[in-house]
Amino acid sequence: MAKLKIVKYGDDTLRKTCRPVDTITPRITTLLDDMVETMRAADGCGLAAPQVGILRRIAVVEVEPGEVYEMINPKIIARAGTQEETEGCLSLPGKWGTTKRPMHVTVRYTNRQGEVVEASGSGLLARAFCHEIDHLDGVLFIDNALEVMEE
């Protein structure tokens, strides 16, 4: 595994729409491993492929230690409720914003074994799913933040 360089705000890669993954290759599984290592090293709870310069629909989320969601071609299929909370982003260090997100979401994605699975989450997990999937469409949390603050 390798720690990858995190792309920072201002890099055009963060504003592009990612391409779907058609085939899960060893390169894709290595990318998943590297993204998890990179996310943990940066003390984050999620990371999307464009944040490491890869324009593919891949994201990883780990809100609870050891409970990693490796999502290939993720899509939110259900939302319920609302929450307004503060969030940040590894690609926008030092910036925080209050966002309005669903309280509960269900995501459908393909895992590294090629199986289509669904995962549901509430609170922080729901926010992380939404935040990372937004990245795959070139959307940053500051685009929808009710307010943005800097450290």
* DSSP states of 77-113: EEEES-EEEEEE-TTSTTEEEEEEE-SEEEEEEE-TT
Tell the residue number behind the tokens 């409720």, with chain if given.
81
Q: Give the residue carrying structure tokens 């709870």.
A: 45
Locate 124 and state its tokens.
Answer: 């922080």
Burial (0-12, 13-18, 19+ Cβ within 10 Å), 118: exposed
Catalytic residue among 37, 87, 132, 150: 132
* CB crowding 66-82: b at 16 or more within 10 Å, else e: eebbbbbbbebeeeeee
Active site residue 132: yes
- Positions marked catalytic: 132
